[in-house]
Structure 1
Amino acid sequence: MNFNRTLSVAALALIVAAGTANAQVKKRAPQPSPKNKPASAKSQLVADAALPVDKNVLIGKLPNGLTYYIRHNEQPQNRADLYLVNKAGSILEDDNQQGLAHFTEHMAFNGTRDFPKNALVNYLQKSGVKFGADLNAYTSFDETVYQLPLPTDSVSVFENGFKILANWAGYVTFDPAEIDKELGVVLEEQRLRGKNAQERLSQQTLPALLNNSRYANRIPIGKEDVLKSFTAETIKSFYHDWYRPDLQAVIAVGDFDVKRVEALIKANFSALQNPAGEKTRTAYSVPPVPGTVVKIATDKEFPYTLAQIVMKHPQAVTKTEAGLLQGMRVNLFNYMLGQRLGELQQRPDPPFLFARASYGSLIGKMDAFSAVVIAKPDAFETSVKALMAEVERARKFGFTLTEFERARQAALVGMQNAFYERDKTNSTNYVREYQQHFLKGEAIPGIEFEYNYYISNINKITLEQMNAMAGKYISDQNRTVIVEGPEKDKDKLPDEKTILNWIGTAGNGIAAYVDNVTSKPLMEKAPEQGKIIAEMQDSTMGTTTLTFANGVKVIMKPTDFKNDQILLNGFAPGGTSLASDADYTAASLSASIIGSSGISEFNQGQLDKMLADKNVSITPYVSEITQGIRGAFSPRDLETAMQLVNLYITQPRKDQDIWQGNINQTKALLANRNLDPGSVYQDTLSSVISGKNFRGMPSTIERLNAATLDKAYSFYKDRFADAGNFTFVLVGSFNSDLIRPMLAAYLGSLPSTNKKETFKNLKMYPLPGAYTKTVNKGIDDKANVQLIFSGSYVYNDMNNIQMDALEEVLNIKLTERLREQESGSYAPGVKATYAKNPEGRYSITVAFTCASANVDKLIAATLDEISKIKQTGAQQADIDKFKAEEARSTQVQLKQNVAWLGLLASSAQNNENPDRILTHVKNLDGVTVQSTKESAVKYLNTANLARVILLPEKK
């Protein structure tokens, strides 16, 4: 569901949990925002000008009313994103249709005029389109959207894509037999997404949040009694009334000829007709209510105490320059308030587990200022007041000039990055914008206009304007206050009068915010450059490997995939495997603590402020067998990134406040962990996967009490002391020759001890044998099943390909069997993992959710499908689907920096030749019916099968 990108976490969780299919949230700048009157009559004339339409998109309308958007875009190459957008969602359902908007979406994949039954999915899989990952759809309150990414280098597949969209738009057949089969799937989706504490709480709180509007009782997943009793004519009636050209748009963005695509749209969609006597598409909204509505809700399985304060306002859609300017103000406001709340999290005893406050759009033609806080146990009043005190501080005193300047710098950095990548922007980003233009009328002026407008106008925004915003948004009218908590703590929760008193008095006695900033540079001067003692070129891969005198290796691969991106991964063997059992907890926390403590003499708050005008992120990490540093940054911020890498290794900061705050937060999270069935189940899974090793289990209060900052800091220092064991991989937009001096200064100068340590093999993997672990937890009829096959593994490219093939053919067969044939599970999944280090091991996990009564039946069905592959091998048609999907995805990945970073890093860690990627697609020919049979016999050995099952509590 594509609600606003700044919607509060809790509000989003409430509505998503209430029943949307395939929730989607996107991020871009600037955000849509409310309108605000300009300061003068002169500025009124300029600011109220309508925003232009991006000249790079062709927008048209067929005589039947269907709208289309077409844009040529070469990212990714030889690919196109085709979308069908319908202004038809659950809000349009009659009482006897609740859930049928979503059911209609399902039926579009189960038979149309030109693609009967499962022919559509089967055809696309053979063409390299993966069901679920690529081919997908979602239903929301106000719209239903179908997505179809296709290759454009296959003319027939690409052109058939428009036939498929047209079939969805007007030719779904609704075969009664297919409806009966799909009913079980839809009910299982309802079980998967719901049947939990969040759904039950949503049912209590949504009427209050949505002012008892139609939105409150038209949750997309629908009502179970309606789903079990509707007739084929009822769902056909919904489709007939609302799937019609004047409420539909086709969006096509990709590497194609625009005029050819326009002709394809006209050829495929012109025959669609609007129904005679068509119904009026009512524009529903959430009406305002005077004063404040308070709703207090509890649930047995909810592990947190939460408060959400939502102040609702009429929705404003960005259509004019005034709206765009106000959107810039909203971004700045949200950024500054978010920074202040973030600082509270850095205290030794943070007043809450989580807090956020921001202004953005909700649903039902509403915008809202939403503040949400998750409280520490037995500190609800403190948490609520801390959040609202910060909100009141902003309202009462406004922001400081230094805060304001940093916010403007951060906004410009984000806009610059989008502008620099304007010719490397993924097609999906454009699709999302055109969706909002069609659904809401949101302007699409294009990045060039937005960038120039930002540069020209951001300095016209004044601090006085910013300081007036909190007073405008924060109100006690049309306000909803929601309190949620565990049922066991019901008596501890405040009543309506008390919670309103907390909110109303939170700002008593507060002082103005003091901005703690520094003008010092990260480093006074660059270190003396280290000497390059070896250099190796790989012309096939386009890489250069430098070895410095201190032992540091740097693998560089310049690319043109992005204009404004460099990715980095530096690593060395060791990790927490080298920590003693007694020191493990401290060691496991070391990187996150150091990474949150600032650097050198600067605390984290100061560091964040110093980097506000930079597009750079550098983070240390420690895993089981490695330690290292990851990063992403713009080429213009290369030196800053290198300084951060150097300082995280040579001058990590020790911050007792951060340590204590992290320990306190973790303890608080553990307090009610046992209330949540999913967490209890996950603990059992962790025990199985790690072979009952305590390192694979969540922390306990006792282990946290035994850990100290000194232990964590000492472990971190020791792990990063020998830079001579490090390899750094850089991929992105740079010139290998020009960046050498920077690498020599900040990496070639790192200290080296020549320890040449490596990791230890702690044998953290499932115990051998066949066994079952059952967890009885939860009040709903919802079972989770994981079947885990595991064993020793010879890691090489051909074995890896065979394992990937086995994973995909199993995914195909279990989707067909458990979902389509048995109608017993919505999304069964198979995941194969394999590794060379610390020893060659594999695991294949089959996971699904179902009704508790169906557990044994679906396990038996799973093992039956596995047995078939072991006896006769996979079907050739399924192997062909795997090969097509793998070939297509490989082509895309070879044009991505992140894929190359992963390939080069894993090759270095596993001592492999990265050139193998160039023959990967050819090697897919090694997957045959016989090879899948052999792989299934070897890897799906029921003698080493762990069954981990979550069942509801016994009554």
Structure 2
Amino acid sequence: MKNIKSTILLASVGIALSWSFTAAPTWAQVAKPKVVKTTTEKNLPLDPAVRTGKLPNGFTYYIRHNEEPKKRVTFYLANKVGSVLEDDTQRGLAHFMEHMSFNGTKNFPKNELVSYLQKSGVRFGADLNAYTSFDETVYQLPLPSDNPDILKNGIQIMRDWAQDATLDVTEINKERGVVLEEKRLGKGAQERMQRQYLPTILNHSRYSLRLPIGTDEVLNNFKPETIKKFYHDWYRPDLQALIVVGDIDVDQMEKTIKAKFSDLKNPAGEKPRTKYTVPLLGQNQFLAVTDKEMTVTVAQVMMKQPAAKLHTAADYRDNIVRGLFNRMTGARYAEIMRQANPPYLQGGAEVGDFLGGLDNYSLYAVAKPGELENGFKAAWRETERIKRFGFTQTELDRAKQAYLSDMEASLKEKNKTNSDSYVNEYLQYFLKGTAAPGISYEYDLVKNDLPGVTLDEVNAVSKSSIKNTNRDLMLLAPEKDKATLPTEAVMNSWIKAVEGEDLKPYNDEVSKQPLLANAPVAGKITAETKDAALGTTTLTLSNGVKVVLKPTDFKDNEILFSASSPGGTSLYSDADYQSAANASGMIESFGLGNYNPTQLEKYLSGKQLSVSPYISERTQGVSGNSTPKDLESAFELIYGYLTEPRKDADLFQGIITRSKASLANRGNDPNAVFQDTLSATLGNYNVRRTGPSIAKIDQINLDREYTIYKERFADASGMTFTFVGNIDIEKIKPLIEKYIASLPSKNLGEKAKDLGIHIPEGKIAKNVYKGSEPKATVDMVWSGPFEYSAAERIQLDALKECLEIRLIERLREDESGVYSPGAYANNSKFPTQRYSMFVYFGCDPKNADKLVASTLDEINKLKTNGPAQVNIDKWRAESIRTRETSVRTNGFWLGYISGQINDKEDLHQIDSYTKDLNSVTIESVKATAQKYLSGKNFIRMQLLPETK
């Protein structure tokens, strides 16, 4: 496996205080439960647009023609083979086998497979990938489909992966180090705590003993024959499927699959593929787990139950009901977080998938320091309120409206759906039997069933899911709090206390006021110019604002937009910086116009849009997205956020309290300490670059941040808006005149200030000693002045990519010292032309110096000899193929146009891209390396374990 996406069960919690309105989840985000086949009702049909079949040997295939993106095809090889099938001598070998599929097959020895694909424009890790889970191993390969040779070889690669890995002994021994380094990356508080709680929450099932990453003992010592046996036993056609979706000829692809895969053999005396489960024990369990690097206290309750089905029309209706339940439950807990003083840092509950044939109702609360009882009771209280009183009709009406809106949005995009979405749908159909009838069929089901769903049906979900049996109660906390953690009896007494309270039903308050306190006074479009080559229309408005419109046909139901003007936090003193930096996020969280945040969330229910104001260091503006249908609502929000912000002292104080609480144990986390030190070092210890602290939070003043927010948006005259997507120019003009041409204008001509903050010059080496695990994090940084131009940026990118290719080949493949080394390059035009180049990797602390020396040696080779031509060819092929698909996305054009405007660069610069790409040579990369990797300005930062 080159980049693992293993689905290892984790109860990880990250504190991220959200200060912005979040739209309801899209249909694609609604979890679909597993399927258990029934015989009492007809199964839902498979999407008729996909061709499926099964070969005599049991090999299954799914093929679909789809032209999003054009000239591309995505292959997935799915294997019902995961770590749960390993015997005791094979723990970790399902995952190791996935690695070995990239390290030599019958037709692509050693690392030729990766090299060949890179030369074909397939990016290693980003495109070419795989993952291993408890129950499956899946390989993914997106390819250009307009080159017959590449397509032919892509199918051969899938055939080789199915049964022709060579499993060369030398390659196996080299890969041991890589897999162990991958395992090392996962070590830390979460992994240590997981090892303690998994056996309990998995009811001591086989899953608790078969984490995909495996054990050190097996990985270090297994004999090659052991992995070969695993491969022979389980990589077989009756457990495999090939999924092909893309711009291909379905008939021809089916013929090719039959010709290529029909000779796959099932082993003689094949082992039965046991379906393992997590048993329900009919008992309640409690455990408290602590770790010295844990930063918060989390209480989590899991009420396990048999998995719901999604196989028939009746199952689908049940799934709708559960989806509505989760939407309304999520809205209740989100409303608690919008209180003036929320009882916890984070909290929530939902019914969802678990593992091993189970679902669960999961409730959690991330407590404020010293307030576990209050936080847990508050989280349990809302669950008890839902169970006791259910939801209101108005809540259900909004949830139905949002559910249908999500389905309508998906239906409108059915002809522009990305191939990856179809692949993942058919993958779940093969692996788990999850119904996949197609969006048109699903929309009809929803349209038919949704109106008839009653409150009693939705409320019944809580009765069946919130139970007092098969309930696990778990505490995760910092080790220093171990002595004060409650016992199981105490936790149960908290639950009983809440269940005995005189609770009141939820009161669903919905505002009837207009969103805006003052209707905008429309301005005018005073000038219009068109650029036929770029396909843009630029409007100049009466208040000095410019609007760039680029209609596209990439998506039928998508419009993206952004706006910016110069200024930002650079215009404020260090004393005001914390108020300025937090102004946009906090003020947005207070709502706008006549609506507080809860009222606003309800007002926007069922609308497909998102709008967020921002204030960055050098600019301020707004960004978001919408469907054509909801575009006027998005415009209304833009106008409201920029002209009618709200100030709420109670909500402000709640954010401040939570922010301080979230920092209480930040110093326990080695990665947080290292990143804070790295940021401070790279920012030359400027107060605007050092890490968060209680003292900084104390500097945030509500009145001051509100004033700054108003100042930043008081003058729209220097602002440029960019809209990209399914735009009707004539229909959008009246909205622009009403909501954008009406924005206030003072013609101040503000410009951002140069704060003089940049990476310090000279050589710096610094170690941070934090954490107990034997692992190191290494960051190396080169920086300095940059000769800014489009061509120079491409040369820098080529240098970065050629260096990364060599680091993967040497540090990973040759020296087996790292799992995933990386490099990336930054450059800027304003306030000054500068660049930075980063190299980073994790490793065994004992190997850090050696691996740094190898990295510097590769850099010296680049400076002395330049890169190998083959590596330039790989970079160029990847760049060309990536650009081919990215230019067919709205996101690319929004980023390109707004970026060029902000950098005061020619919008037609894109026309020289191919020329600049082709100008890269061995000599030019060599010269770029000499210029930017001289080592004159070089920082080496390392996170190392604490010395004992």
Q: Is 1:486 the equivalent of 2:491?
A: no
C-alpha separation between the residues in 1 aligned to 2:849 and 2:29? 50
Q: Residue 155 of structure 1: CA displacement? A: 1.0
Q: Is 1:28 the equivalent of 2:28?
A: yes
Q: Is 1:414 the equivalent of 2:406?
A: yes
Q: Residue 516 of structure 1: CA displacement? A: 1.6
C-alpha distance after superposition, 1:806-842 (max 9, x if no partner): 1111110100111111111100000101111121111
Give 2:665's match in structure 1, choosing from 672, 690, 708.
Answer: 672
Q: Residue 579 of structure 1: CA displacement? A: 1.4
What amino acid maps onto 1:28 in structure 2?
A
Which residue pairs with 1:232 in the alignment?
Answer: 224
Any conservation in 1 of the 2:559–2:626 contact (CA below 8 Å)? yes
Give 1:405's match in structure 2, choosing from 377, 385, 397.
Answer: 397
SS at match of 1:179: helix
Any conservation in 2 of the 1:346–1:657 contact (CA below 8 Å)? no
The two structures have a TM-score, normalised by structure 1, of 0.96
Which residue pairs with 2:22 in the alignment?
Answer: none
Any conservation in 2 of the 1:517–1:609 contact (CA below 8 Å)? yes
Which residue pairs with 1:41 in the alignment?
Answer: none
C-alpha separation between the residues in 1 aligned to 2:518 and 2:294? 53
Any conservation in 1 of the 2:27–2:410 contact (CA below 8 Å)? no
Q: Is 1:544 the equivalent of 2:537?
A: yes
What amino acid maps onto 2:530 in structure 1?
Q
Which residue pairs with 1:316 in the alignment?
Answer: 308
Q: Is 1:294 the equivalent of 2:286?
A: yes
The 5-angstrom pairing of residues 86-125 of structure 1 reads 86-125=79-118
C-alpha separation between the residues in 2 aligned to 1:26 and 1:308? 26
C-alpha separation between the residues in 1 aligned to 2:214 and 2:34? 32
Which residue pairs with 2:447 in the alignment?
Answer: 455
Q: Is 1:649 the equivalent of 2:656?
A: no
Give 2:859's match in structure 1, choosing from 866, 881, 903.
Answer: 866
C-alpha separation between the residues in 2 aligned to 1:501 and 1:229? 49
What amino acid maps onto 2:174 in structure 1?
K
C-alpha change, 1:8 and 1:773, in structure 2 (3 Å) is closer
C-alpha separation between the residues in 2 aligned to 1:88 and 1:133? 23
The 5-angstrom pairing of residues 500-511 of structure 1 reads 500-507=492-499, 508-511=501-504
Which residue pairs with 2:184 in the alignment?
Answer: 191
Give 2:344's match in structure 1, choosing from 352, 366, 372.
Answer: 352
The two structures have a TM-score, normalised by structure 2, of 0.96
C-alpha separation between the residues in 2 aligned to 1:564 and 1:689? 42
C-alpha distance after superposition, 1:266-307 (max 9, x if no partner): 122111100000000000000001221111111111111011
SS at match of 2:574: coil
Which residue pairs with 1:908 in the alignment?
Answer: 901
C-alpha separation between the residues in 2 aligned to 1:156 and 1:9? 41
Q: Residue 859 of structure 1: CA displacement? A: 0.5
C-alpha distance after superposition, 1:15-73 (max 9, x if no partner): xxxxxxxxxx997265424899xxxxxxx99x944212111000101111000000111
C-alpha separation between the residues in 1 aligned to 2:252 and 2:341? 62
C-alpha change, 1:48 and 1:605, in structure 2 (3 Å) is farther
SS at match of 1:288: coil
Any conservation in 2 of the 1:35–1:326 contact (CA below 8 Å)? no
Q: Which moved more, 1:524-533 or 1:658-667?
A: 524-533
Give 2:138's match in structure 1, choosing from 140, 145, 155.
Answer: 145
Q: Is 1:804 the equivalent of 2:785?
A: no
C-alpha separation between the residues in 1 aligned to 2:496 and 2:844? 46
Any conservation in 2 of the 1:299–1:487 contact (CA below 8 Å)? yes
Which residue pairs with 1:441 in the alignment?
Answer: 433
C-alpha change, 1:511 and 1:473, in structure 2 (3 Å) is same
What amino acid maps onto 1:514 in structure 2?
N
Which residue pairs with 1:788 in the alignment?
Answer: 781
Q: Is 1:248 the equivalent of 2:245?
A: no
SS at match of 1:252: strand
Which residue pairs with 1:280 in the alignment?
Answer: 272
Q: Is 1:770 the equivalent of 2:754?
A: no
C-alpha separation between the residues in 2 aligned to 1:524 and 1:787? 53
C-alpha separation between the residues in 1 aligned to 2:89 and 2:492? 39
Any conservation in 1 of the 2:558–2:628 contact (CA below 8 Å)? yes
C-alpha separation between the residues in 2 aligned to 1:227 and 1:498? 43
C-alpha change, 1:34 and 1:364, in structure 2 (3 Å) is closer
C-alpha separation between the residues in 1 aligned to 2:170 and 2:33? 47
C-alpha separation between the residues in 1 aligned to 2:915 and 2:165? 39
C-alpha separation between the residues in 2 aligned to 1:117 and 1:129? 18
C-alpha separation between the residues in 2 aligned to 1:889 and 1:873? 24
C-alpha separation between the residues in 1 aligned to 2:391 and 2:200? 32
Which residue pairs with 1:616 in the alignment?
Answer: 609
Any conservation in 2 of the 1:689–1:764 contact (CA below 8 Å)? no
Any conservation in 2 of the 1:317–1:440 contact (CA below 8 Å)? no
Give 1:332's match in structure 2, choosing from 315, 324, 331.
Answer: 324
C-alpha change, 1:569 and 1:154, in structure 2 (3 Å) is same
Query: Taking every aligned residue pair, what percent have the same amino acid on both sides?
Result: 48
Give 1:703's match in structure 2, choosing from 691, 696, 700.
Answer: 696
What amino acid maps onto 2:696 in structure 1?
R
Gaps of 5+ in 2: 15-24
Which residue pairs with 1:159 in the alignment?
Answer: 152
SS at match of 2:794: helix
Any conservation in 1 of the 2:78–2:427 contact (CA below 8 Å)? yes
Which residue pairs with 2:936 in the alignment?
Answer: 943
Q: Is 1:919 the equivalent of 2:912?
A: yes
C-alpha change, 1:783 and 1:30, in structure 2 (3 Å) is closer
C-alpha separation between the residues in 2 aligned to 1:514 and 1:174? 64
Any conservation in 1 of the 2:680–2:691 contact (CA below 8 Å)? no
CA RMSD of aligned residues (A): 1.9
Q: Is 1:423 the equivalent of 2:379?
A: no
What amino acid maps onto 1:649 in structure 2?
L
C-alpha separation between the residues in 2 aligned to 1:539 and 1:693? 46
C-alpha distance after superposition, 1:826-863 (max 9, x if no partner): 00000101111121111100000001001100100000
Which residue pairs with 2:489 in the alignment?
Answer: 497
Which residue pairs with 1:182 in the alignment?
Answer: 175
Q: Residue 568 of structure 1: CA displacement? A: 0.6
C-alpha separation between the residues in 1 aligned to 2:140 and 2:907? 34
C-alpha distance after superposition, 1:717-772 (max 9, x if no partner): 00011010110000000111221011011001111011111111112221100011
C-alpha separation between the residues in 2 aligned to 1:205 and 1:107? 31
What amino acid maps onto 2:307 in structure 1?
Q
C-alpha separation between the residues in 1 aligned to 2:207 and 2:680? 43
Any conservation in 2 of the 1:345–1:661 contact (CA below 8 Å)? no
The 5-angstrom pairing of residues 678-693 of structure 1 reads 678-693=671-686
Q: Residue 922 of structure 1: CA displacement? A: 3.2
Gaps of 5+ in 1: 15-24, 37-43
C-alpha distance after superposition, 1:308-350 (max 9, x if no partner): 1111111123100111111111111111111111111112221
C-alpha separation between the residues in 1 aligned to 2:495 and 2:169? 54
Any conservation in 2 of the 1:597–1:658 contact (CA below 8 Å)? yes
Q: Is 1:878 the equivalent of 2:871?
A: yes
Which residue pairs with 2:260 in the alignment?
Answer: 268
C-alpha separation between the residues in 2 aligned to 1:673 and 1:13? 13
Q: Is 1:206 the equivalent of 2:202?
A: no
SS at match of 1:864: helix
What amino acid maps onto 2:219 in structure 1?
L
SS at match of 2:575: coil
C-alpha distance after superposition, 1:496-539 (max 9, x if no partner): 11122223323423211111211223247853321222222111
Which residue pairs with 2:587 in the alignment?
Answer: 594
C-alpha separation between the residues in 1 aligned to 2:283 and 2:918? 68
What amino acid maps onto 2:492 in structure 1?
L
The 5-angstrom pairing of residues 845-860 of structure 1 reads 845-860=838-853
Any conservation in 2 of the 1:211–1:289 contact (CA below 8 Å)? yes
Any conservation in 2 of the 1:86–1:143 contact (CA below 8 Å)? yes
Q: Residue 699 of structure 1: CA displacement? A: 2.5
C-alpha separation between the residues in 2 aligned to 1:358 and 1:121? 41
Q: Residue 587 of structure 1: CA displacement? A: 0.8
Which residue pairs with 2:21 in the alignment?
Answer: none
Give 2:387's match in structure 1, choosing from 373, 377, 395.
Answer: 395
C-alpha change, 1:525 and 1:954, in structure 2 (3 Å) is closer
What amino acid maps onto 2:341 in structure 1?
D
